[in-house]
Amino acid sequence: MEKEIIEQKQGTSLVLEQKEGNSKKLFIESYGCAMNFSDSEIVASILTEQGYNTTQKLEEADLVLVNTCSIRDKAEQTIRKRLEKYNAVKKINPSMKVGVLGCMAERLKNQFLEEEKIVDMVVGPDAYKDIPNLLKEVEEGRDAINVILSKDETYGDISPVRLNSNGVNAFVSITRGCDNMCTFCVVPFTRGRERSREPQSILGEINDLWTRGFKEVCLLGQNVDSYLWYGGGLKKDFEKATEMQKVTAVDFAQLLEQCAISFPKMRFRFSTSNPQDMHEEVLHVIAKYENVCNYIHLPVQSGSSRILKEMNRQHTREEYMALIDKIKVIIPGCSISQDMISGFPTETEEDHQDTLSLMEYVEYDFGYMFSYSERPGTLAARKLEDDVPEEVKKRRLQEIVDLQQVLSEKKTKRFLGQTVEVLIEKESKKSNQHWSGRISENVVTVFPKENYKPGDFVMVKIHDCTSATLIGKAVGYSKMQ
């Protein structure tokens, strides 16, 4: 069986507070990246004002929505199976409406509504505020679709409903869209051009989370490091901004520092970074503030400069390694994770060996590893033949995964004997007598519950580990408590 480390989860709706007086039921699931899960919270908030409370029971729903991912064919096939399930329930409950949200909605809009007729509503990532109008179209017997991409929509004025929340961690979106035209990626076509959210609305959302007891925020975007607020719209139009807009512009390092200073007892992470946009100033902010986590997710995709050029990645192997060197100097002990694709078109065995050697050089703490999946509409699909045999892709992927397993075990073992700060997130999956949380370096840690509770910052002495989990015993609260 293909071994992969994937962040693809099923997000069944659960809202901490149901709005009194709402009589309709919304069932919403999310697949794919963290941005989709964040978007589902925005959708739930919009529909709360339309009389909907969320439910975990598909069979009782008046409206069923699935927030979709198009990054890989496997993700799309999973969505199709869920749509089959929804329609089977709909035959029993004909009044139930089904809608598709997100990237797959953008890519397959006409197919869903016209050819297959398996949904009532199709809504792209920039059109969620139009859902109330689209529901009226559905009620009047018309197909409802809005997949228009926006130049300025950031949903900064929406206070998200927190779905599947543990009351400890939350995502806060800071950018939407992407200007990096990687040849393998559908995101620029499904989510549009990059734009940044106004800083005060970000800080306002974080303040709301703080007052509700949340202890950790992950600042979210397709490319957080290129965050740039100047009072305009698209990032690409910054050169046309006024001199005053340029002088008062806020970049990612400044935003991250504002967050750290404004909420000193709250922990901050961010995702995702792109190597060409990660500036040294961000590294210094991480090093300076204890409440900014020592962890960077830094996708590389390949260790071969030739393949990186074919992917239209805006960095070489050597430039990436230089950035890694800088991280290790400025933030000693910083955890680094990767995204890696095996079997990209034209990849040779030498290119593959370059990937393995880069992994050994960086010594990644963990990673998300996939074999190449051709996505319709991308430049790679139009210009490059998918010429690496499937068995070669799988073998190379297995070698990448096996090496990462070795590296992960080595990096986790460095914490043995140390006392680390853990933010308790939830009960351990394997024992109801243990808590589970993460340290600054993003490693899961479990320890006996004693009298601690979720949301506590606890110092834990580590005495054992697996390749992915630290095991220890609490020795008291941390100074973040």
191: left (phi over 0), alpha (psi -120 to 50) or beta: alpha
pLDDT band at 139 (very low <50, low <70, confident <90, very high): confident
Residue 240 has pLDDT above 90, yes or no: no
Mean pLDDT of 267-295: 96
User: Which pLDDT does position 262 carry in this prediction?
Assistant: 97
Residue 156 vs residue 219, higher pLDDT: 219
Count of residues making up the chain: 481
Of 36, 54, 29, 220, the residue nearest 124 (C-alpha): 36
Q: How far apart, in whole angstroms, are the C-alpha atoms of residue 443 and residue 445?
A: 6
Residue type, 397: L
Residue 455 vs residue 163, higher pLDDT: 455
312: left (phi over 0), alpha (psi -120 to 50) or beta: left
Residue 6 has pLDDT above 60, yes or no: no
User: Partners of 53 in the beta sheet?
Assistant: 25
Mean pLDDT of 87-98: 91
Residue 480 vs residue 108, higher pLDDT: 480
Residue 336 has pLDDT above 70, yes or no: yes
How far from the centroid of its chain's Cα atoms is residue 421's Cα? Answer: 24
Residue 408 has pLDDT above 70, yes or no: yes
Residues 6+ apart with CB under 8 A from 67: 11, 28, 29, 30, 31, 32, 36, 37, 39, 40, 43, 101, 102
Residue 340 has pLDDT above 50, yes or no: yes
Residue 16 vs residue 339, higher pLDDT: 339
pLDDT band at 247 (very low <50, low <70, confident <90, very high): confident
User: Which pLDDT does position 452 carry in this prediction?
Assistant: 97
Residue 425 vs residue 247, higher pLDDT: 425
Mean pLDDT of 9-16: 42
User: Which pLDDT does position 146 carry in this prediction?
Assistant: 87
Residue 150 vs residue 54, higher pLDDT: 54
User: Which pLDDT does position 12 carry in this prediction?
Assistant: 39
Residue 4 has pLDDT above 50, yes or no: no
Residue 233 has pLDDT above 80, yes or no: no
Residue 113 has pLDDT above 80, yes or no: no
Q: How far apart, in whole angstroms, are the C-alpha atoms of residue 172 and residue 406?
A: 33
Rg (Cα) of the chain, in Å, rounded?
22
Give me the residue label for tokens 């901490």.
16
Q: How far apart, in whole angstroms, are the C-alpha atoms of residue 356 and residue 322?
A: 17
Residue 327 vs residue 181, higher pLDDT: 327
Mean pLDDT of 232-259: 85
Mean pLDDT of 98-114: 77
Phi, psi for 42 (deg, rounded to 5): -65, -45
3-state SS, the chain, equals CCCCCCCCCCCCCCECCCCCCCCEEEEEEECCCHHHHHHHHHHHHHHHCCCEEECCCHHHCCEEEEEECCCCHHHHHHHHHHHHHHHHHHHHCCCCEEEEEEHHHHHCHHHHHHHCCCCCEEECCCCHHHHHHHHHHHHCCCCEEECCCCCCCCCCCCCCCCECCCCCEEEEECEECCCCCCCCCCHHHHHCCCEECCHHHHHHHHHHHHHCCCCEEEEECCCHHHCEECCCCEHHHHHHCCHHHHHCCEEHHHHHHHHHHHCCCCEEEEECCCHHHCCHHHHHHHHHCCCECCEEECCCECCCHHHHHHCCCCCCHHHHHHHHHHHHHHCCCCEEEEEEEECCCCCCHHHHHHHHHHHHHHCCCEEEEEECCCCCCCHHHHHCCCCCCHHHHHHHHHHHHHHHHHHHHHHHHCCCCCEEEEEEEEECCCCCCEEEEECCCCCEEEEECCCCCCCCEEEEEEEEECCCEEEEEEEEECCCC
How far from the centroid of its chain's Cα atoms is residue 17's Cα? Answer: 24
Residue 141 has pLDDT above 90, yes or no: no
**31-51 pLDDT, tens digit each:** 877 888 888 888 988 999 899
Lowest mean pLDDT among 22-26, 164-168, 344-348, 422-426: 164-168
User: Which pLDDT does position 15 carry in this prediction?
Assistant: 44
Residue 13 has pLDDT above 50, yes or no: no
**351-366 pLDDT, tens digit each:** 999 999 999 999 999 9
pLDDT band at 252 (very low <50, low <70, confident <90, very high): very high
Residue 72 has pLDDT above 70, yes or no: no
Q: How wide is the angle at C-alpha 469 spanned by C-alphas 468 and 470, nearest 5°?
A: 135
Residue 79 has pLDDT above 70, yes or no: yes
Residues 6+ apart with CB under 8 A from 176: 125, 126, 153, 154, 155, 191, 192, 194, 195, 197, 221, 222
User: Which pLDDT does position 248 carry in this prediction?
Assistant: 85
Residue 184 has pLDDT above 80, yes or no: yes
Mean pLDDT of 185-203: 88
Mean pLDDT of 332-337: 97
pLDDT band at 62 (very low <50, low <70, confident <90, very high): very high
Residue 25 has pLDDT above 70, yes or no: yes
Residues 6+ apart with CB under 8 A from 306: 351
Mean pLDDT of 303-327: 97
Average pLDDT of the chain, as a whole number: 89
Distance (Å) of CA 437 to CA 234, 250, 365, 446, 453: 37, 32, 17, 7, 11
Mean pLDDT of 284-304: 98
Mean pLDDT of 252-271: 97
What percent of the chain stands above pLDDT 70? Answer: 93
